[in-house]
Amino acid sequence: MIAPEPDTRLRRVLTFWPLVFYGLGVIVGAGIYVAIGTVVQHAGRAAPMSFLLAGITAALTGLCYAELAGRFPEAAGAAAYVKRGFASDRLAQLTGAAMTVAVAIGAAASVRGATQYLVVLLPWPNILLVALLVVIATAIAAFGVRESVGLAATIGLLEILGLLVAIAVGLLAAPAFRFDGMIPENLAAWSGVLAGAAIAFFAFIGFETLTNMAEEVKDPQRIVPRGIAGAIAASILLYVAVAMALVLSGRAAERPLLDLFSGRGALAFAVLAFISVANGILVETVMLARLFYGMARNGQLPAILGRVHPRTRTPLLATFTGGAIILAASLLVPFAQLLMLANGLTLLVFALVDLALWRVKRTMPAPPNAFVIPPWLPLLAAASALVLAGLGVRQ
């Protein structure tokens, strides 16, 4: 008797709102809680403009991802889109490798950012705290997609609540509502804003993770594009409001969000900030596993990484491999370099994905009722990503 082939399909269990809050769970994390102080140092009172420019760049590429996810709902995400656009397995493999490094570095930045808060509660050696965070995130990601995405979405709600509280506290602490300087008036001011935008972009990385969940979403052609657009729009509004509240309050310390609070309020916010930053580790571990799974299914990685556990319906080996890579990056790469490396690699991949859509739109008709953007927008998105990547190199 011939044994049946193992079922390698992922389970379609995700709907619109869990997907949006899952995306917000990774977007709202290390970028705003850890990097906002550096953005304020570069842009000064024009920091809200830095976040707005970074958000517009993310939104342009996000719209490209939204159309591609509707056309090709595959877990491999960027690697699959580049293969479709350029008809090149080699370029798709290089894209997957770049995304692997970018996601691992981004997750490592979240790990290192989270340990800055965790060490206050658990004064253990840094290497032990790093290992603990990565192991816990990998275990949750391996347990099941409904559980891991549900937890990430729940934490995403807490992250948003924490930022809303910070906005309220910052506005109440403002001595006066002076908006002068928020819009740059000279070339020097704009230079600071652009430098801040190159750093602020890290706060928007994460929307692309929604495309890697396409094979686990019900009605992906309709829900994934809407989920991407909703997550990016909400994060732009939230970040600009946070930056504006900080500028009005006059806080410009290394950790300006935490310095809005004092006493027990500061401790409570530190705990919330730790949870928010740590959530990025879980979400990016899930994304990395789906990237490996999708590439294995497409023959771009060893087939064993495409196997799905019969009970959890998750790609276990791909998940454990992703966790190991994140752990190595967390321990070996200095934190100061993690941010710019993640930004640069991600922006280059985004530009390649934008150009892939431009080629796809010229050669393949869109499916019925698909989400479609204007044909010129992918070129604008690619140019914006490359400009921001160039600004980052100069930092």
Residues 285-304 pLDDT 10s: 887 888 788 888 878 888 99
- Please provide the average confidence, as pLDDT, over all residues in the chain: 83
Supply 345's token pair.
């690699």
Query: Which of 85-89, 104-108, 137-141, 205-209 is most confident?
Result: 85-89
Structure tokens at 217: 């979403």
Which range marks the domain in which residue 149 is found?
16-393
The per-residue pLDDT for 393 is 61
Residue 18 has pLDDT above 80, yes or no: no
What does 191-209 look like in DSSP terms, one character per residue? HHHHHHHHHHGGGGTTTTH
The answer to whether residue 208 is domain-embedded is yes
Q: Is residue 11 part of a domain?
A: no
In three-state secondary structure terms, 313 is coil
Model confidence at 254, pLDDT cuts 50, 70, 90, reads: low
pLDDT of residue 312: 77
Domain annotation covers residue 10: no
Residue 72 sits in a domain of what CATH number?
Answer: 1.20.1740.10
Output the pLDDT for position 395: 60
CB atoms within 10 A of CB 104: 27
Question: Is 142 within the bounds of a domain?
Answer: yes
**Which letter does DSSP use for residue 305 in this model?**
G
Buried b / exposed e over 169-186, threshold 16 CB at 10 Å, is bbeeebeeeeeeebebee
- Residue 55's pLDDT band (cuts 50, 70, 90): very high
CB 304 within 8 A of CB 317: yes
| 217: three-class secondary structure by DSSP | strand
Residues 224, 230, 231, 235: what is their CA dihedral angle, to the nearest 10 degrees?
160
pLDDT (mean) for 66-83: 83
C-alpha span between 293 and 215 (Å, rounded): 11
**Closest C-alpha among 327, 321, 248 to residue 289:** 321
Q: Which two tokens stand for residue 200?
A: 């602020």
Beta bridge partners of 217: 14
Q: CB–CB of 277/112 below 8 Å?
A: no
List 14's β-bridge partners, or say none.
Answer: 217
Q: Please report whether residue 8 resides in a domain.
A: no
Cα 320-326-329 angle, rounded to 5 deg:
145
| Distance from chain centroid for Cα 30 | 9
Residues 204-220 have a mean pLDDT of 76
Q: What angle do CA 90, 213, 287 make, to 5 degrees?
A: 65
pLDDT beyond 70 at 145: no
6 inside domain: no
Convert the pLDDT of each residue in 122-133 to its tens digit: 888 888 999 999
Q: Residue 110's pLDDT is what?
A: 81
185-199, 250-264, 323-337: segment of lowest average pLDDT: 250-264
Mean pLDDT of 326-339: 80
Identify the pLDDT of residue 149: 65
Q: Is the pLDDT at 7 greater than 60, yes or no?
A: no
- The mean per-residue pLDDT over the stretch 62-77 comes to 84
Overall number of domains in the chain? 1
Mean pLDDT check: name the lowest of 41-50, 181-190, 319-328. Answer: 181-190
Single-letter amino acid, residue 100: T
User: Quick check: 1 pLDDT over 50?
Assistant: no
In a domain, 9, yes or no: no
